[in-house]
Structure 1
Amino acid sequence: MGLKDFKISVSKENILHNYHYLKELRNKEIIAVVKANAYGHGIENIVKFLSANGCEYFAVARECEAEKILKLKIENINIIILETIDELNFIKNNENVQMVVNSFKDLLNLLEKNVSTDQLHLKLDFGFGRNGVVEEDFSKLKKLILEKNLRFKGLCTHVFAADYDDMIAIEERFSQILEEIGKERFQIIHMQNSAGVISIGGKNCTHIRCGTVLFGLQEIGYYDPCIKRAFNLVGKILGTKDLKDLKYIGYEKKENIDIGKYKKVAKIRLGYGDGFSKRSEGIMSIINNKKFKIVHISMDSSFILVDDSVKEGDIVEIFHDLEESIKHLKVPHYEFLSCINDRIKRELI
């Protein structure tokens, strides 16, 4: 890594540990959710690595994400697009690309347009209010499936991060509908999100759908001590300056910043142009095993109050304490990590 570079280091060992641990925990195969650039970890690197280690299913949100995976030219993998797409020729022309059916109306349209049901995953919505066939359409759905003797690639739902009783109720209702329609009509069955994987067994499911937890990002209230974090955002100090010689720190007048006891400021090459939000002003970085506050963020640079122990070229880590960062930013980790854009290199190590 050069003096000016920031990068996201992703631990292969920790991702592989999480992958095998989760498979053994639920005794099911994994659908790796790699939307939003694999939650900031780098979609191309993650897909290549996990497919080489046995993962056959990957889920994305958008067609453009599926296209990135297709360009890798990996054999024997399945790509599931979770959102409804309009360009149906993209599905028809790529046998290993599948899509989720997010409403009864969508299903009728897909059947009319002759999209193969071997490329479709029916999704049931039990009140999440985002995507899926709603309960008021379940009777019409069952009637259509039975009358036309339809068989699909998959059946799924989404166990959102609710309380445990809600998860159990959804699991039971999903199993009931599955029995009514017939398990034999679906090649794979999946329901859990990351919180659901930690919390419930996934009754009657063949696969677990893992996103953030696969990368070691755990939600408050759904913590497993065996899961290991893979993400590490690091760079180097470009240089330091004495505060007494400065009128401004970046674009901010020095007098408007609480500099406390500090006499120096360090500059790093990371800013909101890299997806590092100005809302991160005030969070702590780690330099030489000590915490130092980031006090100003501009488009291409940020500034950190430091002491005499910090020198040019020292390694600095951002978002070291994810819980602390979540409290400061008031958003979940998968939001601010996914925002780090492609100006920052991702590297599997």
Structure 2
Amino acid sequence: MTNNSFYAIIDKEALKHNINYLKNFKNKNILPVIKANAYGHDILLISKLLYDLDIKTWAVARLSEALDIIENFKKFKISDYKILVFESIEDYKILNENPNIFPSINSIKEFKVALANNIETERMSLKIDLGFGRNGILENEIESLKKLAKFNDWKFFGIFSHLFSATYDDGLVVIQKFTDIVNKLGKNKFELIHLQNAASIFNYDIEIVTHIRTGMLCYGLQEAGYYDTNLKPVLAELIGKVDTVKYLNELNYVAYEELCSVDSSCKKIAKIKIGYGDGFPKCNKGTYCLINKKEYKISQVTMDNTFIEIDDLVNVGDKVELYHRPNELKAKTGCSALELFISLSPLRIKRILKD
């Protein structure tokens, strides 16, 4: 590590709090989604923290994410966990070699091919397409699936769909369709039944589901229009230090821009070692960071560095906090905290446990 690099501080206690709060809020188990590097929080770190919290089933979008977790867990000699993978997996050799991977079945054809490749139904999760432009088994294929199961005592790992961006009344229709499908196939055939996204967790109580499937809310991230003050941010801080301080009258340019790009009242500029190459994008130009409990304007973002308009209170080595007002990021940058956190480079911005 170097003195002036930036780090994302991960709060294990906040993660624990959010999981317990959500479980009690809906009186359901939690299926944490840890795709996209655990929404920018570090998939390897978060999966281990969840395991330590005795939550041993997680969902990812990509097979590659599951394989990274499996490789990481080998060094802990841990094997009693399950990873639901949303995307279709066509490499059945990988599935047969990795019993921790539980595949989604996104069509009747996939189901038949998986059976032919000796994939146990107890590992399969049936994905149902309820008209949201995603993949999945179609409603009109449910009867065929029921007939296939008629002479087989199949048990499945799960059944799920998505409830996303629907109006409230349309959501009720989707919930009823999903409930009817689960009951038609037999609720007792599924270990995990899940449907909701973050917003619909607030909007609906769904009797048929056994689990709440959420990523955002586990990490204390909130969607526009929904806010629960009981949730705590798991990415507690994005912090580094002031690398250099310069007087503007000593300069001809600030990085790639002329001095006129800086506010005329500003006399000094600070450089910090983070830029869009680290996943801190140019949309942060004109926003503010926190140094010594005072806000300072970000003047310019380059690939490796960011420049801040400062005063005489700021010195080399002072702590700098970015994204210190996460709920205001959408209005100021056009990007949500979710988008910005996911963008943070896993190679250049290390995630470190709080304390």
TM-score, normalisation: structure 1: 0.94
Shift of 1:96: 1.9
Report the 3-state secondary structure (helix = DSSP H, G, I; strand = E; otherwise coil) of the residue aligned with 1:69. Answer: helix
Shift of 1:58: 0.8
Structure 1 CA distance, aligned partners of 2:29 and 2:224?
A: 25
The reply to whether residue 347 of structure 1 matches residue 337 of structure 2 is no
Report the 3-state secondary structure (helix = DSSP H, G, I; strand = E; otherwise coil) of the residue aligned with 1:237. Answer: strand
Report the 3-state secondary structure (helix = DSSP H, G, I; strand = E; otherwise coil) of the residue aligned with 1:205. Answer: coil
Shift of 1:149: 4.5
> Deviations for 1:118-175, whole angstroms, at most 9, x for unmatched residues?
1110011212112322323333333333354433110111121433333332222211
Report the 3-state secondary structure (helix = DSSP H, G, I; strand = E; otherwise coil) of the residue aligned with 1:311. Answer: coil
Q: Could you tell me which residue of structure 1 aligns to residue 252 of structure 2?
A: 247
Correspondent of 1:126 among 130, 133, 136: 130
Q: Is the 8 A contact 1:3 1:237 kept in 2?
A: no
The reply to whether residue 153 of structure 1 matches residue 157 of structure 2 is yes
Amino acid at match of 1:282: G
**1:101-140 to 2 correspondences below 5 Å:** 101-140=105-144
The reply to whether residue 316 of structure 1 matches residue 316 of structure 2 is no
Q: Could you tell me which residue of structure 2 aligns to residue 42 of structure 1?
A: 42
Structure 2 CA distance, aligned partners of 1:329 and 1:241?
A: 27
Q: Is the 8 A contact 1:198 1:224 kept in 2?
A: no
The reply to whether residue 187 of structure 1 matches residue 173 of structure 2 is no
Q: Is the 8 A contact 2:79 2:100 kept in 1?
A: no
Shift of 1:112: 2.9
Query: Which has the larger displacement, 201-210 or 117-126?
Result: 201-210
Structure 1 CA distance, aligned partners of 2:188 and 2:16?
A: 32
**1:247-266 to 2 correspondences below 5 Å:** 247-255=252-260, 257-266=261-270
Amino acid at match of 2:243: L
Query: Which has the larger displacement, 211-220 or 317-326?
Result: 317-326
Structure 2 CA distance, aligned partners of 1:260 and 1:126?
A: 57
Query: Which has the larger displacement, 46-55 or 168-177?
Result: 168-177
Structure 1 unpaired stretches of 5+: none
Inter-CA distance 283–136: structure 2 relative to 1 (3 Å threshold) = farther
Inter-CA distance 146–58: structure 2 relative to 1 (3 Å threshold) = same
TM-score, normalisation: structure 2: 0.93
Q: Could you tell me which residue of structure 2 aligns to residue 11 of structure 1?
A: 11
Amino acid at match of 1:48: K
> Deviations for 1:184-226, whole angstroms, at most 9, x for unmatched residues?
2112211122222233223221111120110000101222121
Q: Is the 8 A contact 2:37 2:342 kept in 1?
A: yes
Q: Could you tell me which residue of structure 2 aligns to residue 172 of structure 1?
A: 176
Structure 2 unpaired stretches of 5+: none
Q: Is the 8 A contact 1:202 1:208 kept in 2?
A: no
Inter-CA distance 251–118: structure 2 relative to 1 (3 Å threshold) = same
Query: Which has the larger displacement, 168-177 or 9-18?
Result: 168-177
RMSD: 1.7
Report the 3-state secondary structure (helix = DSSP H, G, I; strand = E; otherwise coil) of the residue aligned with 2:159. Answer: strand
Report the 3-state secondary structure (helix = DSSP H, G, I; strand = E; otherwise coil) of the residue aligned with 2:150. Answer: helix
Q: Percent identity?
A: 39
Shift of 1:336: 1.7
Structure 2 CA distance, aligned partners of 1:263 and 1:166?
A: 57
Shift of 1:240: 1.1
The reply to whether residue 297 of structure 1 matches residue 295 of structure 2 is no
Aligned length: 348
